[in-house]
Chains A and B, each alone.
Chain A
Amino acid sequence: MQLDLTTFILEVLNFLVLVWLLKRFLYKPVLSVLDARQQRIQGEMRKAAVLQEDAARLKQQYEARLADWNTEREIAKQSLEQELARERDTGMKAIQQSLADEEAKNRVRAASAIATREAELVRNATSGAYRNAAAMLRRMASPAMTLAILNILLDDLASLSEKRQEELHKAAHPENVTTMEVVAAHALEESAQRKLGDAVAKVCGKPLQATFKTDTSLIAGLRISLGESVLHANLADELGYFRSQDKNV
């Protein structure tokens, strides 16, 4: 164990040279590579952070946009639902109106049909009634009934209103009217013919030549044709008149 000064100094120098050599050939290159790698990693991390921030921002934007879209969609949906409700209400009202109109039409149609039917029934009943009445009156008809009707006519002529008398007067007044035709259901006796001629002449204001005919279709009574006027005083014409009045009703 001894300390050699030369070796000591050379070892000091050797180690210092070794430090320089290792620094030159080992530490510096390796640390440079590691630093570059670290910087690259940090750069990548920064880029990643920026990308992450961008991604987060984009995500936020997309979420906001999505929320807006959802809101718009909800609004559009509500609007559409309201429009559909309006359309449905309108359609329902139209359908209800149409149904009401149709119902009213059907009601009117039914009422009309019922009325028609009733009228037809009434007409049939009236016609039957008149037929029955006519048949019954034909069986009851007799010269006495004709004479009774003549007497009623004579009474009526005697108590005829002035307006009616004026009309008969005008009907008999023309020069060419000189006759009158009397159709009776039963043949009239001469006295009856004379009473009738007198009563008519009195009403018309001039004597008329009367021609008497018999027509059993009149059932009972008589019909007097005077110029353009006709005086109905028989059951058949009365029934016909009543029937025509029923039809008008």
Chain B
Amino acid sequence: MNGNEAAMAWHLGSLVISETVLTTWGIMLLVTLLAWLMTRRLGDNPSRKQTIAEMIVVAMESAVADVIPAERVRSIMPFVASLWIFVLVANLSGLIPGLHAPTGDLSTTAALAVLVFLSTHWYGIRAKGWRKYFRHYTEPSIILTPFHIISELTRTLALAIRLFGNMMSLEMAALLVLLIAGFLVPVPLLMLHVIEAMVQAYIFGILALIYIAGAMEPNEDEVASSKV
């Protein structure tokens, strides 16, 4: 954050609440409120709101089910779907004048990436158990274990940096164009921002999903035994 952004932070005792966190709370409040409004009167004859809610949830569950074994879908879907929803809304929040997208802050994207990193191990261990899960770091050879670890770390870092870089650069480009060209000139760039926001949200969620699915894949010996 720069000095102006730091000035916009709140101080809760010794705890400094940044604008990013405040925006995130606002997003959480908005998303929760929308979710509550859409699902407060669910029935056998779905209303338009219920239909939209069902459509969103079913679409996300279907996307998860395409990658994850069916018996694990219900446990993984909330995490991945929440990633999609939060990253999308957070990306789009940058379009609101006076607000900065939380995903334009490396702290947020890093937090999300770390959560993805941890959830990958969490779901992998739950699906396969400690021994089997960590054994895949030694496959096909124990020599490759460091590379596996480096791969895990770098992909997490890439996850955080990719989202942060894209969103920050878009906001910065729009700001620069606004400063140089004038009031309405950045509008096409903001349209691109919308598309980029959706694309980045999808990419972040689908990568998290693929990482989790990869962690749940059976080991080589399990595959060989199942083939036999």
Q: Which A residues contact B (CB, under 8 angstroms)?
A: 1-12, 14-19, 21-23, 25-27, 29-34, 37, 40
Q: Are A7 and B20 in contact (CB under 8 A)?
A: yes
Q: Are A18 and B54 in contact (CB under 8 A)?
A: no
CB neighbours (8 Å) of A4 from chain B are: 1, 18, 105, 107
CB neighbours (8 Å) of A15 from chain B are: 82, 86, 111-112, 115
CB neighbours (8 Å) of B102 from chain A are: 11
Q: Are B82 and A25 in contact (CB under 8 A)?
A: no
CB neighbours (8 Å) of B18 from chain A are: 4, 6-7
Given contacts A1-B168, A2-B1, A25-B36, contact A11 B42 (CB under 8 A): no
The distance from the CB of B180 to the nearest CB of chain A, in whole angstroms, is 22
CB neighbours (8 Å) of A23 from chain B are: 78, 82
The distance from the CB of A20 to the nearest CB of chain B, in whole angstroms, is 9
CB neighbours (8 Å) of A40 from chain B are: 44
- B52-69 interface code vs A (CB 8 A; 1 in, 0 out): 011001100100000000
CB neighbours (8 Å) of A10 from chain B are: 17, 21, 24
Interface residues of B in 126-185 (CB under 8 A from A): 164, 168
Q: Are A6 and B16 in contact (CB under 8 A)?
A: yes
Task: Bin the interface of chain B by size.
Answer: 35 or more
Given contacts A12-B115, A23-B78, contact A18 B31 (CB under 8 A): yes
Q: Which residue of B lies closest to A7 (CB)?
A: B107
Having A22-B85, A23-B82, A37-B44, one finds 7 other A-B pairs with CB under 8 Å, namely A14-B25, A15-B86, A15-B111, A19-B82, A22-B35, A27-B81, A34-B58
The answer for the CA separation of A22 and B74 in the assembled complex, in Å, is: 13
Q: Are B35 and A33 in contact (CB under 8 A)?
A: no
Partner of B74, one of A9, A17, A31: A31
Q: Are A34 and B57 in contact (CB under 8 A)?
A: yes
The distance from the CB of B33 to the nearest CB of chain A, in whole angstroms, is 9
Interface residues of B in 20-40 (CB under 8 A from A): 20-21, 24-25, 28, 31-32, 35-36, 38-39
CB neighbours (8 Å) of B108 from chain A are: 7, 11
The distance from the CB of A147 to the nearest CB of chain B, in whole angstroms, is 153
CB neighbours (8 Å) of A11 from chain B are: 20-21, 24, 102, 107-108, 111-112
The distance from the CB of B188 to the nearest CB of chain A, in whole angstroms, is 26
CB neighbours (8 Å) of B39 from chain A are: 25-26, 29-30
Enumerate the 6 nearest inter-chain pairs by beta-carbon distance, A residue then B residue, closest first. A11-B111, A7-B107, A26-B35, A25-B35, A29-B39, A19-B82
CB neighbours (8 Å) of A21 from chain B are: 28, 31-32, 35
Q: Which residue of B lies closest to A36 (CB)?
A: B44
CB neighbours (8 Å) of A34 from chain B are: 54, 57-58
The answer for the CA separation of A53 and B92 in the assembled complex, in Å, is: 55
The answer for the CA separation of A7 and B112 in the assembled complex, in Å, is: 12
The reply on B114 being an interface residue by CB < 8 A is yes
Q: Are B24 and A14 in contact (CB under 8 A)?
A: yes
A selection of 11 A-B contacts at a CB cut-off of 8 Å is A3-B106, A4-B18, A8-B110, A8-B111, A10-B17, A11-B111, A14-B28, A18-B32, A22-B81, A34-B54, A37-B44
Q: Are A12 and B111 in contact (CB under 8 A)?
A: yes
The answer for the CA separation of A18 and B50 in the assembled complex, in Å, is: 20
- B114-129 interface code vs A (CB 8 A; 1 in, 0 out): 1100000000000000
CB neighbours (8 Å) of B82 from chain A are: 15, 18-19, 22-23
The reply on B88 being an interface residue by CB < 8 A is no
Q: Which residue of B lies closest to A33 (CB)?
A: B42
Partner of B105, one of A5, A7, A22, A25: A7
Partner of B54, one of A8, A17, A30: A30
Interface centre among A31, A37, A40 (most CB of B within 10 A): A31
CB neighbours (8 Å) of A30 from chain B are: 39, 42, 50, 53-54, 57
